[in-house]
Amino acid sequence: MELGLASVYSVFIHNMKRLMELHRFSSLELSRRSGVANTRLSAMLRHYENPTLETMERISAALGVSFVDMFSYPDRIKNAHDKLPIGYDRVNDVVLTSFRAFQVRQWGIEAEETLKKAGFLF
């Protein structure tokens, strides 16, 4: 499936908004953390301006997710509406070596147990 550039930007901006809400970041806070001017962030959030690759990398880092994860379709993200505490993010559609995949699964089990104990998951 081939995506147009506008669709790619839309997915990025949607995930940016979702993660800002999750972390309770205002555009001013994201600006402070990313070094991207608040006026540019506001224009991007309203789809008046498209971000550059450098800007998208800075925003991704400030939101604590990989650049690649910012392009995952929201409907492919399991339980995208679940609220997680700061410091927890869902990661999907990543290809890893078998050993790394095992490690990630183990970390996932540990994180799930921690979240269950804290009352975030049932």
The pLDDT of residue 72: 75
Total number of domains in the chain: 1
pTM of this structure: 0.58
The pLDDT of residue 1: 41
Percent composition of the chain: helix, strand, coil (DSSP 3-state, to 5):
60, 0, 40
CATH number for position 58: 1.10.260.40
The pLDDT of residue 44: 92
CA 101, CA 92: separation in Å to the nearest integer?
11
The pLDDT of residue 71: 80
The pLDDT of residue 111: 79
Supply the DSSP string of 3-48, one letter for each residue: --HHHHHHHHHHHHHHHHHHHT--HHHHHHHH---HHHHHHHHTTS
Domain hosting 54: range is: 5-118
In the chain, which stretches have pLDDT less than 70?
A: 1-6, 73-97, 120-122
